[in-house]
Structure 1
Amino acid sequence: MFQIKTFNAIASEGMERFEKERYAINESEQPDGIILRSQKLHEYAFPESVVAVARAGAGTNNIPVEECTKNGVVVFNTPGANANAVKELVLTSLFIAVRPVVQGIEWVQQQTETDLASHVEANKKQFAGHELVGKKLGVIGLGAIGAMVANDAYRLGMEVMGYDPYVSVDTAWSISRRVKRAQEMDEILKTCDFITVHVPLIDSTRNMIGTKEIAAMKKTARLLNFSRGEIVDTDAVLAAIEAGEIGGFTTDFAEERLLHHPNITVLPHLGASTEEAEINCAKMAARTLKRYLETGVIKNSVNFPTVEMSFHSPYRITVIHKNIPNMLGRISSAIAEFSINIDNMINRGRGEFAYTLVDVTETDEAVLQDVLARLESSEDVVRVRIIKNQEVI
């Protein structure tokens, strides 16, 4: 039976995927897998039993990914599961940016005139705004969220330009051909009325929108950040707002010094805060974690390569190892020492580490444990698992 530990409240629709016959939830301090949302694990002492962590969300900054990688712990996220929720909030923010709807609602609530209808009609001009149709939107980062924002903004009548030098093939197919692709980020910075950023937080994207980038923008441009707070340099934004160098800034990441500025809108991190998004993330996190535990297949991992192979043999050996020459030969030789026939095999590398799946015909668990010990004895092997095919045996 697999042991699962949860942090935070995970939507029941996701947890229901763990069948009671094969999974125990929060019954052991030696779990096989962890599923969480925003709980910070940087101070958590990972038991050696943990082989995978699934984050019900896209960001994994709350997980010590580098440490997990070195210890052979696969970290999963749920890209795209909350994309629609974030997209809708970005579009909402675009509408709010051009139409003072919130201010108008607050003003009406404060009125005390007996003939309210006439009073409102006489004073509504102060809340006149603009339309998005014909305005130019720049989308930096064309992942799941950025692609959806770009497509829907175009459908609203906006002229849309996207920039992402690393756009995936799958995403490229999903983006409307009406969305123009910028070759350089400067094309977006210099020409767009609205600029929205949708990139992951890594070393190369930290403060990627700073003084230089903001200086290149139109003085009327509005910048939106629904990725991570650290993507945009707060000091640079404040300086530009004070100097009138950009039209405004909308962020989903609250920071005290951004408050009380008329041209800055701060939201309380609502991007993925919908019931549907939480359910979708929980379902995807449970599905990827369950699949890895039962078959060793890796998909949507932030620290190991995608490795998928049909599982038809009685047992599967999974090996996380250093990405160095001749490891496949060494793994094969170690298995051959026990006269075990290999049915199928696949290997993929990512950075300093690689992952190998080996399907074997051997059914003697004692022999397989000897193979495990033999492989684990190598200093270049990080973690080995023996997985029984429940559909075959």
Structure 2
Amino acid sequence: MKNYKVLTINNISEKGLELLPENYSISDNIDDPDAIIVRSAKLHDMEFSPNLKYIGRAGAGYNNIPVERCSENGILVCNAPGANANAVRELLIASMILSSRNIVEAHKWTEKLLDSEDITKDVENGKKQFVGNEIKGKTLGVIGLGNIGKIAIDAGAALGMKVIGIDPYLSVRDAIHLNKDLEIPESMEELVMNSDFLSIHVPLTDDTENLIGKDLIYKMKDGITVFNLARNGLVDNKAIAEALESGKVKKYIVDFPERETLNMKNTVNLPHIGASTYESEENAAVMVVNELMDFMENGNIKNSVNFPDCDLGVCYSAQRITVMHRNIPRMLQRILNILAENEKLNVANLFNKNKGDWAYTMIDLDSEICQETINKIKNIESVTRVRAL
């Protein structure tokens, strides 16, 4: 049984770590780790040892990890999509209610009554300034229909709201699991024109940076409330500030405070608490630990952000090798040609799949592979890591 060293960064839930068997050494101070489990700490300036094979992000977003550098060094990066979905959904529900009923403003006003001579009288005279709206019957628009977006739609429908949503990357397989009451508009512009509440649930990429910008805000329904509980950088701060000043946007609830947002009118800044529940932290830790063990022991990949998901189950042949490499023509042929040079090696099972610029090959062999053959595969140009399990 091989031994593995796991470096933990940030506080990782014990519910996940306790799943690791005795051959896994776990510490927040360990040299030359085989794996890293991290939450939100930034790893861009961290040096990775050649022994590092896996980084597990105990959460959904992975902007804190240098993914491309990891790919080039044969390091698998996995996350925990959906682990925090219910936590974010509940925060969205709370945010819709607190914004539509002016709860934050009412609370701040009430705190100032401590020196009042007649609190009851002042309350009765002052409460009319906080009259709000019910969310039942209003329209919730959702951009992004992944793990969180889907259940946000379910929550809105359950609360009696009309629900509309859009996702340019939605697959047919995912679409069949969407709420039956969901309406999908022709465009994002049509969605924002008809939404009373707009919630964003997409990752931050080059395509989604400042997704909510001046042009899209101009098309929005007057008096809309915007929620960004997904990721910093999705909303153009200057554009949303101008819309709040003019009243085009009624309120803005953001879970990623910045100096600009803290100075915005009618804005509720939250301290990045979307996934801050004990349950979501436990769910995320359990997911990445299970992914870690399956990758280390079987070479299987699940929920990777830089390599394709691959699963050959448990190897019942003599040995399994896995190869991380660039997604280029004839790579599989080159690997198999090297194996064919050894007359004793016979392929029992094989899996090859690509994702963007990178690919992954798993090969089960009827006899054990020698180090010389492994080295030949390692020396193929564009191969970044070879493992014999």
TM-score, structure 2 as length reference: 0.94
Q: Distance in 1 between matches of 2:247 and 2:111?
A: 31
2:290 is aligned with 1:287: yes
**1:104–1:127: 8 Å Cα contact kept in structure 2?**
yes
Separation in 1 of the partners of 2:286 and 2:87? 15
Q: Deviations over 1:19-39 (max 9, x none)?
A: 11x111137411111111111
Which residue among 31, 34, 38 is the counterpart of 2:33? 31
- The answer to whether the Cα contact below 8 Å between 1:147 and 1:171 also exists between their aligned partners in 2 is no
Quick check: 1:329 aligned with 2:333? yes
Task: Give identity over the alignment, percent.
Answer: 42
Q: Please list, as runs of the form range in 1=range in 2, the aligned pairs for 1:282-321 lying within 5 A after superposition.
A: 282-311=285-314, 312-321=316-325
Work out the CA distance in 2 between the residues paired with 1:322 and 1:124.
Answer: 64
Cα deviation 1:46-96 (Å, max 9, x = unaligned): 000011100001111111001111111110011000111111111111001
Q: Is the 8 A contact 2:5 2:25 kept in 1?
A: yes
Once the 2 structures are TM-superposed, how far is the Cα of residue 308 of structure 1 from its aligned partner? Answer: 1.1
C-alpha distance 170-152 of structure 1, shift in aligned 2 (>3 A): farther
Which of 357, 374, 377 is the matching residue for 2:376? 374
Alignment of 1:79-228 (within 5 A): 79-112=81-114, 116-117=119-120, 120-169=123-172, 171-228=174-231
Alignment CA distance shift 1:269-1:170 (3 Å): farther
* Local SS of the residue matching 2:233: helix
| CA offsets 1:147-189 (integer angstroms, 9 cap, x no match) | 1101110110110100002124453233211011122111111
Q: Kindly indicate whether residue 249 of structure 2 is the aligned counterpart of residue 246 of structure 1.
A: yes
Deviations for 1:92-143, whole angstroms, at most 9, x for unmatched residues? 1100111022333343343355765565345433322110011111100001
- Whether the 8 Å CA contact 2:245–2:265 is kept in 1: the answer is no
Q: Secondary structure at the match of 1:349?
A: strand
Contact 1:160 1:180 (8 Å CA) reproduced: yes
Are the aligned partners of 1:71 and 1:382 in contact in 2 as well (CA < 8 Å)?
yes
Amino acid at match of 2:182: V
Aligned residues of 2:89 and 2:151 also touching (Cα < 8 A) = yes
Runs of 5+ consecutive residues of structure 1 not aligned to the other structure: 388-393
Q: Which moved more, 1:251-260 or 1:231-240?
A: 251-260
In structure 2, the residue matched to 1:258 is 261
**Counterpart for residue 343 of structure 1:** 348
Amino acid aligned to 1:83? A
CA distance in 2, matches of 1:184, 1:386: 49
Q: Secondary structure at the match of 2:165?
A: strand
Match of 1:391 in 2: none
State the alpha-carbon separation in 2 of the partners of residues 246 and 105 from structure 1.
22
Give 3-state SS (helix, strand or coil) of 1:186's partner.
helix
Letter in 2 for 1:94: M
Distance 1:119 1:322 in 2: 70
Rounded to whole Å, the distance in 2 between the matches of 1:262 and 1:67 is 40
Q: What root-mean-square deviation, in Å, do the aligned CA atoms of Structure 1 and Structure 2 show? A: 1.7
- Would you say the 8 A contact 1:144–1:171 is kept in 2? no
SS in 1 for 2:324: strand
Q: Secondary structure at the match of 1:153?
A: helix
- Map Cα deviations across residues 223-276 of structure 1 (whole Å, 9 max, x no partner): 111111201100111112222222221111101122244411111111111111
Distance 2:335 2:37 in 1: 31
Distance verdict in 2 for CA 1:342–1:80, change over 3 Å: same
Residue 314 (structure 1) shift: 2.9
Answer whether contact 1:362 1:368 (CA < 8 A) is retained.
no
State the Cα distance separating 1:191 from its structure 2 match. 1.2
Range 115-124 or range 346-355, more displaced? 115-124
1:322-352 C-alpha deviation (Å, 9 max, x unpaired): 2122222221221222221111001001122
Does the 8 Å CA contact 2:244/2:265 hold for their aligned counterparts? Answer: no
CA contact (8 A) 1:59 1:77 kept: yes
Alignment check: 8 A CA contact 1:161 1:180 kept = yes
Q: 1:359 aligns with which of 355, 361, 364?
A: 364
The farther-off stretch of 46-55 and 246-255 is 246-255
**3-state SS, counterpart of residue 230 of structure 1:** coil
- CA–CA separation in structure 2 for the residues paired with 1:242 and 1:15: 48
3-state SS of 1:320 partner: strand
Alignment gaps of 5+ in structure 2: none
1:249-308: per-residue Cα shift (whole Å, max 9, x none)? Answer: 111110112224441111111111111111111111111111111111111001111111
Deviates more, 1:171-180 or 1:301-310: 171-180
Q: Which amino acid aligns with 2:26?
A: I
Question: Whole-Å Cα distance in 2 between the matches of residues 329 and 135 of structure 1?
Answer: 58
